[in-house]
Amino acid sequence: MKILVLSPKPPWPSHDGGAVATMRCIEGLAEAGAEVSLLAMKTWKHRQYLEFEQFKPAFLKHYSTVDVNTRIRPLKMLGNLLFSQEPYDLIRFRSNLFSEALRSLKPTDFDIIQCEGLPFALYLNEIKRLTSSPVVLRAHNTEHRIREMMAENSGCMVYRVYMKSLARRLQKTERDAARLFDAVVPISEPDSRWFSAVSGGKPVYLSESGTDVAERLAEPDGSSPRVGFIGALDWQPNLEGLKWFLKHVWPNVSQAVPSATMHIAGRGAPANVKRWLNGEKVSFEGEVHDARSFMASMNVIIAPLFAGSGLRIKIIEAMSIGRTVVATPVAVIGLPVVDRRHLFIAADPESFCTTLTEVLEDPSLRASTGEAAVTLVHDRYDNLALTAGLLEFYKQLSHGR
């Protein structure tokens, strides 16, 4: 089976959850026997990425990127708010150059067109004019729900009003997409339920994002415990969660466990953000080459998130190597985890501080949750098994045309 994957970002290097989810899916489909080609946008956020085309792995039939300028333009954003009903978050991904690259690939030669995210709703009519093959939306999130949460958590009235407007527009786009794409493939159960409810009978197939490894790696020396955070630092929910943690949680944890240090990794941090990512026993390590190695060098990984959807891929990655995770309730939505068995859930500063202090001081507690986490990942998130199931779904979908 020939599959063309369209991505709004390069999946290599895989430095954020969305890139990891795309990369794992592509690798798994290829390993399951599909012939996979990839066309990805490269926005200004990815301007420093290596040209992966020079290092195309054998399992990819074709790989190319197209530069797409998605920079936020305040005047255009204001005009969009006043005179359009389209979500500004999406229309920034509209590109004539990408359309030209898409046409040159001859989509009619593929059995399935897999679109990684809602931006490709902009291209759906164009794709359908180019091919009669099924066009599938692989939904990493329900985008409107993220904006709703961001509005709920904001103390700024103007920002809150704008986010609510954006959420309404995105919800309409997602509802329309669920009916217009030939199928939807969400990566989390909550998102699958939502798309099933609005798809009008179109197929919805849950295919969670997996991982290749489930093995507990030895922790570093616990005499000076290390707390880690990794995530895209140009994504507002990550920044808001980090601000909350560093302001309301870390000072008390540092006082309770004086030998503990905090380490932050991630790409895209603006200059003004970098200034507050370093502090008392807090160090910003920038964009790390290997996310798994970074997490393995920590004793505990934190996920302080108050807006999100889909799966927190980095939590699954941390659990796959047996790292204890302390997370807010929003961060674990969609994960089949039990508090204090597979990881730890804390909703407010006091409970987050108490829980993080407890796991930093108790290696045996980290060991037991780490083992349970590895078992869960092994049983639920085996990447080859998940993508083999997805490939079978695609075969049924294409044969039914």
User: How large a percentage of the chain has pLDDT more than 70?
Assistant: 96
pLDDT beyond 60 at 47:
no
**Domains present along the chain, CATH in parentheses:** 2-210+382-399 (3.40.50.2000), 226-380 (3.40.50.2000)
Q: How confident is the model at residue 59 (pLDDT cuts 50, 70, 90)?
A: confident
Least confident residue range of 42-51, 131-140, 364-373: 42-51
Structure-model confidence comparison of residues 230 and 55, the more confident one: 230
| 252-271 pLDDT per residue, tens | 999 999 999 999 998 888 88
Q: What was the pLDDT predicted at 260?
A: 96
Q: What was the pLDDT predicted at 278?
A: 84
Q: What is the largest CA-CA distance in the chain?
A: 63
pLDDT beyond 90 at 380:
yes
Q: What was the pLDDT predicted at 395?
A: 96
Considering only CA atoms, which of 13, 393, 347, 395 is closest in space to residue 205? 393
Q: How confident is the model at residue 73 (pLDDT cuts 50, 70, 90)?
A: confident
Q: What was the pLDDT predicted at 272?
A: 85
Q: What was the pLDDT predicted at 204?
A: 98
Least confident residue range of 153-167, 267-281, 294-308: 267-281
Plot region of 316 (φ>0 → left; ψ -120 to 50 → alpha; else → beta): alpha
Cβ atoms of 331 and 274 closer than 8 Å = no
Q: What was the pLDDT predicted at 263?
A: 97
Q: How confident is the model at residue 55 (pLDDT cuts 50, 70, 90)?
A: low
Q: How confident is the model at residue 276 (pLDDT cuts 50, 70, 90)?
A: confident
Over range 310-332, report the average pLDDT: 93
User: 401: buried, middle or exposed (CB in 10 Å: 19+, 13-18, 0-12)?
Assistant: exposed
pLDDT beyond 90 at 18:
no
Q: What was the pLDDT predicted at 155?
A: 85
Please state, in angstroms and rounded to a whole number, the distance separating the CA atoms of residues 372 and 216: 10
How far from 175 is each of 122, 184, 189, 197, 200, CA to CA, in Å? 14, 11, 17, 9, 9
Q: What was the pLDDT predicted at 269?
A: 84
Considering only CA atoms, which of 250, 241, 217 is closest in space to residue 312? 241
Structure-model confidence comparison of residues 299 and 312, the more confident one: 299
Structure-model confidence comparison of residues 223 and 332, the more confident one: 332
Over range 137-145, report the average pLDDT: 95
| Alpha-helical segments (H) within 51-156 | 74-83, 88-91, 96-104, 124-130, 143-153
Q: What was the pLDDT predicted at 49?
A: 53
pLDDT beyond 70 at 48:
no
R_g (Cα) of the chain, nearest Å: 21
Please state, in angstroms and rounded to a whole number, the distance separating the CA atoms of residues 196 and 224: 48
Over range 98-109, report the average pLDDT: 93
Q: What was the pLDDT predicted at 71?
A: 85
Over range 93-117, report the average pLDDT: 95
Please state, in angstroms and rounded to a whole number, the distance separating the CA atoms of residues 22 and 12: 9
